[in-house]
Amino acid sequence: MTTLKLRILFDDAMLGPGKAQLLARIRDTGSISAAGREMGMSYKRAWLLVEEMNSAFRDPLVASARGGPGGGGARLTEAGEAVLSLYAEILDRARRATADQIALLEAMLRGGPDMSEGK
């Protein structure tokens, strides 16, 4: 299956599929450590990526609470939800805009469908 992956490089920050997936899993699990585990990364790596994103954007994307008697947890902030939604929209638009060209590239691959048949 062919996939399009997009990485947006800003002057001093980057947003790509890994960080977007981390944000989505934090949203779904309510936990930075659980999100990291699901992605096969250490808590430290997940936390460093969250800190990187929180410092890159004007408003933090993830809010977290330390563990304790009531337990800790994490959630996406309003800004985090917006960034995740905008990234998904950009990716969807890019997929639609490039579908024909990607199909042509696939046809040029060894073992790909022959797009010249019928012409």
Cβ–Cβ < 8 Å for 106, 2: yes
Judge if pTM exceeds 0.75: yes
CATH, residue 85: 1.10.10.10
pLDDT in tens, 4-57: 999 999 999 999 999 999 999 999 999 999 999 999 999 999 999 999 999 999
Is residue 34 one of the residues assigned to a domain?
yes
Backbone phi and psi for residue 75, each to the nearest 5 degrees, phi listed first? -150, 155
Is residue 6 one of the residues assigned to a domain?
no
Can you point out the beta strands (E) in the chain? 8-9, 14-15, 62-65, 73-76
Domains of the chain: total: 1
Nearest to 76 by CA among 88, 62, 56: 62
Is residue 75 one of the residues assigned to a domain?
yes
